[in-house]
Structure 1
Amino acid sequence: MTPTPSGPLGRLGQSPPLLALLGAALLWAAWPVHPAPFALLLFVGFVPYLRLEQVLTAQGARRGRVFAFTYLFLVLWNAFTTWWVSYSTLGGGIAAVVLNAALMCLPLLAFRRTKQRFGTKIGYLSLPVYWIAFEQLHLTWDLSWPWLTLGNGFASATSWVQWYEYTGFLGGSLWVLSVNVLVFWAWFGTGGVRPWTINGPRRWRCALPMLAIWLPITVSLTINHSFQEKGPGAEVVVIQPNIDPYEAKFPGTANFIPFNEQLTRLLARTEAAITPETRLVLWPETALDEVYLEATFNQSPQVARIRQELLARHPGLSLLTGITSAGTYPDAAHASPTARHRDDAGYYDVFNTAAYFADASAPVQFYHKSKLVPGVEKIPPVLSSVLSNIDLGGVVGSYGSQDERTVFPPAPGAPALRLAPLICYESIYGDFAAQYVRNGATLFGLITNDGWWSDSPGYRQHLAYGALRCIETRRDLARSANTGISAFIDQRGTISHRTGWWVGAVSRATVHLNTEQTFYVRYGELIGHGAQGLAVLGIIGLVLVPLVRRK
């Protein structure tokens, strides 16, 4: 029979359902876009789960019961924090919560098994290893959904994590999990169900997690105080047209605005905002949504209007805009794995594309969105053959993408401006964004359409995450949203020139074009890859040790 504990949680510390609820609530309250001080709750958000696991272990609970409460903790955290995905599609929102929580169970169950096999010390040390290995995997595979990467939790408290220029956001994940283990150790100990005691020689247990919290914050505040924006300046304008994606943006919607009228509005708003010093204009994702064949895009009437009515009138001005484009292949042998086929068109790919007009006469250059939203823009190959036989009432199959990170070369009017196009979801990937900087980028241009998520925490979290990319790479970011928030973010991660929600607006600011590379840019996700290597060794140990003992 499990003894009743004294200490900070009282009877709550004996109830697995309440502990699961408490842990999920703490992580939700800590998450952007709640005020920055709430991020401190990240350092205790996993403590209720660790207590839950400890209590179940003391009770001799079976694996199924442990899994059930582990899943409850994670599905509640996912639901509390990312429920807004259901605004875009109810089924997708439910799937994101249910499936992501199930995947998150894997590192926690591996931690529990390691603790059982190798003891508490190695077990608790393995928790950050398995979790960060999972987060690294979640950045790269077909079902990628890294929205709840723990390091993202400091996006509203950027002055605390200026050292991300060395570690990237997985350094934040390591920080969070390490402090949680230390706090748990101070409160409950690591063996059995021990009351909360820090008397006599145990007092340092309380001092250690406090030091682990405040030392990195102090280092970060010192970096933040001394940091200076780097690089020459350039004036940039971002346009927020605010066209309802559900009611007016696309053909077939109730109040569809013809594409030519949408372009007219963009041109008029841009003309009113630019000055003789403006060097770059950003229009949002799918600003020109009529599907354009890339081979003939430069001859389209819309491109002619842009050149004549905007770029020719303002020498030295460049434009980045989102479009939907299509590229064709001569035959099946040359087609990509995501290519579609029609008898009248042959083999082709559809792309979510960023189109770059360097000036009024240069050919338009393209970048194809590469980090595609699972289930919406990208269907894993294992499901493609199944879904191809099901009528879903729309287009079935993945969008095309590209492997390399395209950096658009500078125009004559701004020789230091080497633009990295980020499209929507791509801005939540640290090393992905850093690849642009390795290729010479001096500015991030983020184009997005956050109107899918309605007036929810989703578009505000998305904005905040962009600040972490700026710290990691020390690059400015200009953000153009169809609606949501358009803004600028500097190299410290400070957000400025915010537009309002659900309003047409423009923002104009001077950005700095840094050419230096941070440690993180040069060396990438050292923490993530290191954790994966250690995790593999841990799993091998879990498999081999029982075999050796049997022999």
Structure 2
Amino acid sequence: MSLSFKDFANKPWVLTVLGPLLLWAGWPVHPAPAPLLLLVGLVPLLRLAQVLRAQGASGGRFWRWTYLYLLLWNVLTTYWVAYSTVGGGIAANVLNAALQSLPLLAFWHTRRLAGRAVGYLSFVVYWLAFEQLHLTWDLSWPWLTLGNAFAMVPGWVQWYEYTGQLGGSLWVLLTNLALFRTLFGSASVAPDQVSAPKSQSPATRWLLPAAAVAVPLLVSYLIGSRWQEKGPAAEVVVVQPNIDPFEEKFEGGARYITPLQQRERMIQLTEQTVTPQTKLVLWPETSLEEVHFENNLPLNPDVQRIRQLLLQHPGLRLMSGMTSVAEYPSKEAASPTARFRDDLGYYDVFNAALHVDGASGPLQVYHKSKLVPGVEKVPGWLNSALGTINLGGVVGSYGSQEYRAVFRSASAATDSSLRVAPVICYESVYSDYVSEYVRRGATLIGIITNDGWWSDSPGYKQHLTYGRLRAIETRRDIARAANTGVSAFVNQRGDIVQQLGWWVPGASRYTVHLNDELTFFTRYGELLGHAAQILAVLLLGLLVVRRFAK
């Protein structure tokens, strides 16, 4: 007996496997036109809810199928987290899928209690509200924010300068809803029908999903085709030392390279690449690995050696990742993340960025503040549950700071238009967070990272491409220095204009543009996310009223 499309579309297990496969196939680093699959990847999820509702399923049964759907998507897309630690990778995928299931469970109950129209509205609202929450709270892991999916095709989403990445999420959600209505609006799974008017012809019914796909693409083309690089030019160098984080970077590795040898490798690569026109050099995250006490930085041997390098190149500045320590005079003065040791007293350890302003200018330090959950920041109640998840950078419990620093030169002889945003590793995934640097005056985004933890996997490639979206949102050039995996330059349209290879040492030089104008998104931030959170609260309030009214 042959099976029809409708037979497959009525089977929960088919829908639960098909949806994650579509989402994975549309996700970076699959090239165009694969991201179009994101615009249909949630249709199986909506159909799954429709079928289960027709079968009289409970909320618990819906949650089990939904959780499996989300878990498969997480594993297919971010399995590489386990390349660092297997247990941590499993925990990250299992927990994130559980968190993602919460807005869908709320959608299920809202659909049941508030009807079809409000129910499908809540599907969009709850998901956007969750993504906004996932950008800000302690368990933040926004890697699978739907708007990130278009990082391989920046030409499709030039309007991110107005909406940010959540605009892409809204596009995915609305297009999937429109397509779901067209495909299954008259499906025979009563009572949950989403019927289109019977008078509509098939061509008319397909008009809405076609417009949902085409209009954003057309708008993006119109914006992108008119965009010109803005701001004065500046020559920048990024260094990729390619030090294996497992075998070479840290003491105890099989091919351990001392911090002095690591530093000299980066100096050699720098010397080989800079020219008299070079204004800035970027070294990767944790390039200066030995602990650097912040109250004594000017006398630190690493800093003094960098000063010697810069003395040979007047007008040159250098930004490097480092591990730093800040000591506190008393318990009362210590931060909430401070540790205690008898020989040090109260102190914080930071994954930091150091800015050396020429041979004699002031030193500036920024502390990484979007900390990797399970590695650099773990809520106390999750310590035992998560263990150690290694997602790049350094491992432990780290301090942070409340504001975004922008590295400027204090020298009148140095180009004042070159103001660098020190974005460390995981921070580059956060759109509004990166925009805060720009609101504070940054004209160039400098991303420093160590993506070698993830081996040769989609992980480092996804991390690179996500940065392209930050370029569009802020209309800033990006200079990206990775220990390995990979270093690159990105222009204000989100195009990768130059990059180094995977797992090779090297340095790259490029002339960036220093735009100082603010985009709509940079000025106003995640308006879509905040609006969705307000609507979500109202919808949940309606849900409570309907629940007790019955």
Change (3 A) 1:497 1:397: closer
Shift of 1:493: 0.1
| Residue of structure 1 equivalent to 2:407 | 408
| Residue of structure 1 equivalent to 2:509 | 508
Amino acid corresponding to residue 419 of structure 1 in structure 2: V
Change (3 A) 1:5 1:320: farther
| Residue of structure 2 equivalent to 1:85 | 81
Match of 2:177 among 174, 181, 189: 181
Amino acid corresponding to residue 24 of structure 1 in structure 2: P
| Residue of structure 1 equivalent to 2:273 | 273
Q: Deviations over 1:357-394 (max 9, x none)?
A: 1111123210000000001011114346x799x999xx
SS at match of 1:36: coil
Separation of aligned partners in 2, 1:185 and 1:91: 41
**Aligned pairs for 1:46-195 within 5 A:** 46-189=42-185, 192=191
Shift of 1:406: 0.2
Change (3 A) 1:144 1:195: closer
Shift of 1:6: 9.3
Shift of 1:446: 0.4
SS at match of 2:517: coil
SS at match of 2:370: coil
Indicate conservation of the 8 Å contact 2:428/2:466, yes or no: yes
Amino acid corresponding to residue 428 of structure 1 in structure 2: V
SS at match of 1:326: strand
Indicate conservation of the 8 Å contact 2:259/2:288, yes or no: yes
Q: Deviations over 1:285-318 (max 9, x none)?
A: 000100111111210112111111x100000000
Indicate conservation of the 8 Å contact 2:161/2:475, yes or no: yes
Amino acid corresponding to residue 448 of structure 2 in structure 1: I
SS at match of 1:246: coil
Shift of 1:62: 2.0
**Aligned pairs for 1:404-443 within 5 A:** 404-410=403-409, 411=411, 412-443=413-444
Indicate conservation of the 8 Å contact 2:59/2:108, yes or no: no
Indicate conservation of the 8 Å contact 1:6/1:196, yes or no: no
Matched, 1:264 2:286: no
Identity %: 59
Amino acid corresponding to residue 445 of structure 1 in structure 2: G
Indicate conservation of the 8 Å contact 1:182/1:205, yes or no: no
Separation of aligned partners in 1, 2:499 and 2:350: 29
Match of 1:35 among 31, 37, 41: 31
Indicate conservation of the 8 Å contact 1:369/1:401, yes or no: yes
Shift of 1:508: 0.5
Matched, 1:493 2:489: no
Shift of 1:91: 1.4
Q: Deviations over 1:251-307 (max 9, x none)?
A: 111111011111111111100100000000000000010011111121011211111
SS at match of 1:125: helix
Separation of aligned partners in 2, 1:166 and 1:373: 27
Change (3 A) 1:414 1:461: same
Separation of aligned partners in 2, 1:85 and 1:387: 17
Change (3 A) 1:391 1:51: closer
SS at match of 1:451: helix
SS at match of 2:168: helix
Amino acid corresponding to residue 111 of structure 1 in structure 2: F
Matched, 1:540 2:531: no
| Residue of structure 1 equivalent to 2:221 | 221
Separation of aligned partners in 2, 1:223 and 1:92: 42
Change (3 A) 1:530 1:251: same
Separation of aligned partners in 2, 1:295 and 1:274: 30
Matched, 1:345 2:344: yes
| Residue of structure 1 equivalent to 2:304 | 304
Indicate conservation of the 8 Å contact 2:374/2:388, yes or no: no
SS at match of 2:306: helix
SS at match of 1:231: coil
| Residue of structure 1 equivalent to 2:318 | 319
Shift of 1:398: 2.0
Shift of 1:205: 2.4
Separation of aligned partners in 2, 1:221 and 1:269: 39
Separation of aligned partners in 1, 2:324 and 2:469: 30
Q: Deviations over 1:375-425 (max 9, x none)?
A: 1011114346x799x999xx9962000010001113532220011000000
Size of the aligned set, in residue pairs, is 540
SS at match of 2:200: helix
SS at match of 1:331: coil
SS at match of 2:33: helix
Indicate conservation of the 8 Å contact 2:181/2:194, yes or no: no
Change (3 A) 1:34 1:391: closer
Amino acid corresponding to residue 400 of structure 2 in structure 1: S
| Residue of structure 1 equivalent to 2:329 | 330
Amino acid corresponding to residue 306 of structure 2 in structure 1: I
| Residue of structure 2 equivalent to 1:370 | 369
Change (3 A) 1:405 1:75: same
SS at match of 1:447: strand
Shift of 1:82: 0.2
Q: Deviations over 1:481-524 (max 9, x none)?
A: 00011000000000021111110011110000000000001100
Separation of aligned partners in 1, 2:496 and 2:2: 46
Q: Deviations over 1:205-249 (max 9, x none)?
A: 211010011011001011111100000000000000000000000
Separation of aligned partners in 1, 2:180 and 2:471: 33
Indicate conservation of the 8 Å contact 1:143/1:374, yes or no: yes
Q: Deviations over 1:12-40 (max 9, x none)?
A: 11111110110000000000100121110
Shift of 1:92: 1.4
Separation of aligned partners in 1, 2:501 and 2:195: 48
Q: Which has the higher mean CA deviation after the structures are superposed, 420-429 or 198-207?
A: 198-207
Separation of aligned partners in 1, 2:198 and 2:499: 50
SS at match of 1:497: strand
What is the root-mean-square deviation in Å for CA atoms of aligned residues?
2.1
SS at match of 1:276: coil
Amino acid corresponding to residue 477 of structure 1 in structure 2: I
Q: Which has the higher mean CA deviation after the structures are superposed, 194-203 or 148-157?
A: 194-203
Separation of aligned partners in 2, 1:63 and 1:118: 15
Change (3 A) 1:162 1:337: same
Shift of 1:114: 0.8
Please give the TM-score of this superposition, normalised by the length of structure 2.
0.95
Shift of 1:196: 9.7
Separation of aligned partners in 1, 2:225 and 2:7: 45
Separation of aligned partners in 2, 1:471 and 1:439: 18
Amino acid corresponding to residue 251 of structure 1 in structure 2: E
Change (3 A) 1:280 1:403: same
Separation of aligned partners in 1, 2:497 and 2:290: 32
Shift of 1:109: 0.8
Amino acid corresponding to residue 277 of structure 1 in structure 2: Q
Unmatched 5+ stretches in structure 2: none
Amino acid corresponding to residue 188 of structure 1 in structure 2: F
Matched, 1:358 2:354: no
Separation of aligned partners in 2, 1:128 and 1:112: 12
Q: Which has the higher mean CA deviation after the structures are superposed, 86-95 or 460-469?
A: 86-95
| Residue of structure 2 equivalent to 1:525 | 526
Indicate conservation of the 8 Å contact 1:117/1:542, yes or no: yes
